[in-house]
Amino acid sequence: MHEFLISTLANFIGSVLAGFALVGLYVLIQWFLAATDVEIGYSWSFQGPITMPTGVWVNLDVRNRSRSRTYYLANIAYMKDGQPVAAFDNETVWGTELKPGTITFVAGAPLRSFSMPVDCLNAEVEVRLQNGKQFWSRASGPGQHKRGRVQSAAFWLRAKLEKWAFPVE
């Protein structure tokens, strides 16, 4: 009887640990998909000569790689050292729908506080989705959003899986 109880307890604990491992794997896959669903690049446009432009605005290249989830843009913030250097751009991007599997081009509003191209390179561009997720870049070059090592590895892995035509969703 004693051996039966020990065997049953060992099987129960093994099953519970296997269940936790499967739930953990599911959570990891869901994080991976959420972290790599949306990719945002940007560039700057200038009106007039580039040495002394009369107007400056950001152009966003937003890619929704999800096959089933729709996202919505909330706003663009222009920061430097955590402080705003221009007004938040809510009106031009607010509610822009990012349908699954689409590439969307969005032009921001002209920035009155940016008068020189160096202002653009010194600014941190933060793009926020309505679900609270944000993407930012700190002078790492036009169109390059700074990522951490884990997120860079996740984007690299997703690109490889999509290149092999392996569905990740």
- The pLDDT tens digits of the residues spanning 93-126 come to 888 999 998 999 988 888 888 877 777 877 888 8
Of 13-22, 50-59, 115-124, 143-152, which has the strongest mean pLDDT?
A: 13-22
Number of domains in the chain: 2
Residues 149 and 104 in one domain: yes
CA distance 3 to 7: 6
**pLDDT number for residue 138:** 47
Residues 30 and 43 in one domain: no
The burial of 43, by beta-carbon neighbours within 10 Å (0-12 exposed, 13-18 middle, 19 or more buried), is given as exposed
Query: pLDDT-derived band of residue 35, with 50, 70 and 90 as boundaries?
Result: confident
**135, amino acid identity:** F
Residues 8 and 62 in one domain: no
Residues 72 and 141 in one domain: yes
62 located within any domain: yes
Q: pLDDT over 90 for what percent of the chain?
A: 18
Q: Which residue has the higher pLDDT, 69 or 158?
A: 69
Domain carrying residue 32? 1-36
**pLDDT number for residue 91:** 84
26 located within any domain: yes
Q: Which residue has the tokens 């926020």?
A: 128
Beta-carbon neighbour count of residue 69 at 10 Å?
16
Are the beta carbons of 128 and 71 closer than 8 angstroms? no
